[in-house]
């Protein structure tokens, strides 16, 4: 995409499609640039050395550069202001000088004898002023006039004088106007010093080349030059006045750059038609050397100037030495850090190659040294940890196999018996559960439901479960098993466990056979928590049977039988569902389990099972299970 946009730009193709291609090229180029910068940054900052260098740049170098930039900018502003002040001050001194001359002329005019004519007095006063001030004010002109209109236009009526810059047409001059009272009325004495290139040669000798630009109003249209805004008006250069034979002084040392300054002087503009603009800017452009401006600043210190300069140089040298020492210290510390990290990284490569004999050399007893020592201790014990990990892995593999075997013991599909909906949930406390449940379809209308709780947990419980399931299925899958007496079946399973397991192995067991045709439920409970049958809001416990399996070989069990009403709910469960305790030590209990089941009587079996599990877990308030939790829910339509 970027290449297509580049070719479009090179060949100058135009049109909506090509413009769109250029736009897509810009987006693609920006994306590529972003990706390249990210890749380059990751490559550059991979090593700790480069990261520390970048960190030091941001911590030390960048602030120094910012401070230096700020100092240079502040110095430039200061020197610009100082140069502008020198220019303004020199011009203002000359304006004040011609203002004083005009005042002296006005005073002297009143002291002349009465017999002297007006023309003679004006000639005498002008000649005296020229004789005294022509050297200081080259080009000085003195004239008298009876018309005071100009003075009244540029000054308030209460003032009798004006002194400043006066721009008349395309000429600029230092001008002083003063009213002289007389018997025949007021007269005006006008003193003017034209601002010419020769005049600028004598102004502010500490500055370099000087140029004054006369301005005129910008009336619109395409600007042909730089537009200078002043107040609400905009101006452009009308005529420049450039000093002749005036150049920038030579630099006194290598760090003595030229400072270019643009400043503004205020003048009164008088047009050819007599219109007056009281404030028209005159743009002053000049340059200067900081060394000459510094010399002007330190002139007031007299003989102490050299002492202050020497002190400043000494302080600068001390600062440079401190900075050099800090830089050297930072380099040494950085190399020590990067060397230690490089040694540790090399050690990790040995560990990755399964070589635990490598040891990191400890050079300093600091935190990095402690880190290296910790690494050496780690490599010394890592082989033992790997061996223990292998043992643990073998044990986990065995547990995984047992879990897979146990999962195969649970029914993978639900039986299909008309009028029966059945669901079961088993949550193991460990990876292998000690609870067992099973569904066996004996005939199209008969289904067997079994639930057991094996003593112990883990692999031993899973093995006992497998033995119990094998014995149960061998009995139930024979022909005519739907008519088998439940008490007789449980007695056979009891003998099997007593003869084939240890004395400390036993199991609680509940089994029931439901005939959907006759709606008859036959069951035997061998020491298991009594299942209950819920119908029309009432709960009936199924507790007939006997003691747990695996204790007494010749124990005689009892069979229970009952007729099931339509839409009844059969619930079997393990002790893990009723034994969770709350923060006060109270068990969830059978009563709360039955009440929760009664409230859920109309729900689907899966929802009932999940809700009973959630109620027990919410009662405990902790995510950790103390025992296996199993629940069977059968809807008997």
Q: Are residues 429 and 330 in the same domain?
A: no
% of the chain beyond a pLDDT of 90: 25
Q: Are residues 556 and 425 in the same domain?
A: yes
Q: Are residues 404 and 419 in the same domain?
A: no
What is the structure's pLDDT at 115? 64
What is the structure's pLDDT at 137? 86
What is the structure's pLDDT at 224? 65
Say if 63 falls within a structural domain.
Answer: no
Q: Are residues 87 and 201 in the same domain?
A: yes
Q: What is the pLDDT of residues 309-351, one digit of tens each?
A: 788 789 989 988 988 888 788 778 777 777 777 777 788 888 7
What is the structure's pLDDT at 213? 92
What is the structure's pLDDT at 524? 95
For the chain, the domain total comes to 3
Q: How confident is the model at residue 556 (pLDDT cuts 50, 70, 90)?
A: very high
- The number of helices, as runs of H, and strands, as runs of E, in the chain is 14, 20
Domain final position from 361, 393, 409: 409
Global pTM reads 0.51
- More confident position, 392 or 220: 392
Q: What is the pLDDT of residues 534-549, one digit of tens each?
A: 988 888 999 999 999 9
Q: How confident is the model at residue 4 (pLDDT cuts 50, 70, 90)?
A: low
Q: How confident is the model at residue 220 (pLDDT cuts 50, 70, 90)?
A: confident
Say if 9 falls within a structural domain.
Answer: no
Say if 55 falls within a structural domain.
Answer: no
Q: Are residues 102 and 175 in the same domain?
A: yes
User: Which of 232-241, 391-400, 550-559 is predicted with the least confidence, judged by mean pLDDT?
Assistant: 391-400
Query: Are 548 and 468 in contact, with CB atoms under 8 Å apart?
Result: no
Q: Are residues 398 and 428 in the same domain?
A: no
What is the structure's pLDDT at 523? 95
Q: Is the pLDDT of residue 364 over 60?
A: yes
Q: Map residue 340 onto helix, strand or coil.
A: helix
Q: How far apart are CA 153 and CA 146, in angstroms?
A: 15
Distances (CA, A) of 127 to 108, 117, 338: 13, 15, 87
Q: Are residues 164 and 260 in the same domain?
A: yes
Query: Are 593 and 613 in contact, with CB atoms under 8 Å apart?
Result: no
Q: Are residues 120 and 203 in the same domain?
A: yes
Domain final position from 362, 383, 409: 409
Nearest of 243, 318, 231 to residue 277 by alpha carbon: 231
Q: How far apart are CA 526 and CA 557, in angstroms?
A: 8
Q: How far apart are CA 497 and CA 502, in angstroms?
A: 8
Average pLDDT over residues 77-93: 92
Query: Are 239 and 195 in contact, with CB atoms under 8 Å apart?
Result: no
Q: Are residues 130 and 245 in the same domain?
A: yes
- More confident position, 430 or 508: 508
Q: Are residues 133 and 247 in the same domain?
A: yes
Distances (CA, A) of 13 to 2, 8, 27, 390, 632: 15, 5, 19, 69, 77
Say if 4 falls within a structural domain.
Answer: no
What is the structure's pLDDT at 560? 93
Average pLDDT along the chain? 83
User: 440: domain range?
Assistant: 411-636
> Would you say the C-alpha torsion 34, 38, 39, 41 has a positive or negative sign?
positive
Domain final position from 252, 275, 300: 300
What is the structure's pLDDT at 632? 93
What is the structure's pLDDT at 372? 77
Residues 6 or more apart whose Cβ sits within 8 Å of residue 222:
none
Q: Are residues 274 and 315 in the same domain?
A: no
What is residue 482's DSSP assignment? G
User: Which of 64-68, 83-87, 273-277, 622-626 is predicted with the least confidence, judged by mean pLDDT?
Assistant: 622-626
Residue 425 CB neighbour total at 10 angstroms: 16
Distances (CA, A) of 283 to 83, 124, 182, 198, 230: 14, 38, 39, 18, 11
Q: Is the pLDDT of residue 467 over 70?
A: yes
Q: Is the pLDDT of residue 18 over 60?
A: no
Nearest of 351, 353, 340 to residue 380 by alpha carbon: 351
Q: Is the pLDDT of residue 70 over 70?
A: yes
Say if 215 falls within a structural domain.
Answer: yes
Q: How far apart are CA 600 and CA 606, in angstroms?
A: 11
Q: Are residues 332 and 392 in the same domain?
A: yes
Say if 28 falls within a structural domain.
Answer: no
Say if 197 falls within a structural domain.
Answer: yes
The CATH number given to whatever domain includes residue 510 is 3.60.40.10
Say if 58 falls within a structural domain.
Answer: no
Q: What is the pLDDT of residues 376-421, one digit of tens each?
A: 878 878 777 888 888 888 877 777 777 777 777 778 788 888 889 9
């Amino acid at each position: 995409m970027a290449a297509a946009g580049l070719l479009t730009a090179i060949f100058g193709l135009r049109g909506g499609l090509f413009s769109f291609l250029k736009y897509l090229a810009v987006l693609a180029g920006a994306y590529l640039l972003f990706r390249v910068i990210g890749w380059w940054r990751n490559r550059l900052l991979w090593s700790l050395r480069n990261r520390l260098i970048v960190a030091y740049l941001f911590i030390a170098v960048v602030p120094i550069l910012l401070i230096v930039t700020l100092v240079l900018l502040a110095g430039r502003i200061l020197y610009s202001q100082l140069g502008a002040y020198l220019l303004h001050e020199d011009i203002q001194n000359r304006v004040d000088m011609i203002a004083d001359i005009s005042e002296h002329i006005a005073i002297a005019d009143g002291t002349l004898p009465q017999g002297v004519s007006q023309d003679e007095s004006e000639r005498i006063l002008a000649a005296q002023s020229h004789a005294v001030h022509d050297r200081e004010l080259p080009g000085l002109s003195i004239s008298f006039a009876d018309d005071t209109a100009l003075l009244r236009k540029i000054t308030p009526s209460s003032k009798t004088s004006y002194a400043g810059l006066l721009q008349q047409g395309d000429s600029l001059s230092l001008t002083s106007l003063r009213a002289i009272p007389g018997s025949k009325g007021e007269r005006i004495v006008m003193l003017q010093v034209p601002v010419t290139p020769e005049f600028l040669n004598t102004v502010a000798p500490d500055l370099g080349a000087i140029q004054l630009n006369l301005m005129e109003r910008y009336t619109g249209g395409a600007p042909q030059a730089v537009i200078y805004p002043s107040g609400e008006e905009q101006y452009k250069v009308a005529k420049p006045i450039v000093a002749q034979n005036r150049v920038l002084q030579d630099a006194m040392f290598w760090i003595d750059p030229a400072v270019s300054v643009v400043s503004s002087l205020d003048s009164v503009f008088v047009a050819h038609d007599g219109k007056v603009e009281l404030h028209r800017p005159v743009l002053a452009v000049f340059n200067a050397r900081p060394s000459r401006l510094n010399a002007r600043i330190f002139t007031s210190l007299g003989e102490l100037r050299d002492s202050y300069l020497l002190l400043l140089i000494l302080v600068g040298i001390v600062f440079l030495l401190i900075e050099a020492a800090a830089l050297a210290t930072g380099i040494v510390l950085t190399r020590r850090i990067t060397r230690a990290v490089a040694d540790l990284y090399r050690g990790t490569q040995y560990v990755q190659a399964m070589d635990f004999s490598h040891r990191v050399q400890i050079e300093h007893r600091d935190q990095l040294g402690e880190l290296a020592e910790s690494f050496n201790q780690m490599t010394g014990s890592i082989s033992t940890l790997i061996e223990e990990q292998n043992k643990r892995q073998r044990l986990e593999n065995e547990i995984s196999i047992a879990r897979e075997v146990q999962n195969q013991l649970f029914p993978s599909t639900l039986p299909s018996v008309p009028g029966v909906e059945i669901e079961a949930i088993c949550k193991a406390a460990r990876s292998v559960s000690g609870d067992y449940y099973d569904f066996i379809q004996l005939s199209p209308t008969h289904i067997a439901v079994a639930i057991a709780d094996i003593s112990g947990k883990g692999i031993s419980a899973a093995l006992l479960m497998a033995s119990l399931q094998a014995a149960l299925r061998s009995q139930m899958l024979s022909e005519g098993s739907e008519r088998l007496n439940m008490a007789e079946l449980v007695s056979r399973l009891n003998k099997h466990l007593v003869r084939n397991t240890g004395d400390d192995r036993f199991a609680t067991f509940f089994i029931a056979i439901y005939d959907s045709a006759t709606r008859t439920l036959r069951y035997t409970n061998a020491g298991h928590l009594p299942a209950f049958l819920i119908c029309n809001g009432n709960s009936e416990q199924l507790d007939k049977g006997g003691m747990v399996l695996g204790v007494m070989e010749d124990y005689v069990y009892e069979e229970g039988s009952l007729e099931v009403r339509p839409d009844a709910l059969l619930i079997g469960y393990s002790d893990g569902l009723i034994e969770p305790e709350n923060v006060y030590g109270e068990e969830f209990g059978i009563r709360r389990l039955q009440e929760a089941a009664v409230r859920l009587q109309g729900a689907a079996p899966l929802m009932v099972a999940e809700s009973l599990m959630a109620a027990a877990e919410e009662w405990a308030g902790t995510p950790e299970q103390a025992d296996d939790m199993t629940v069977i829910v059968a809807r008997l339509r």
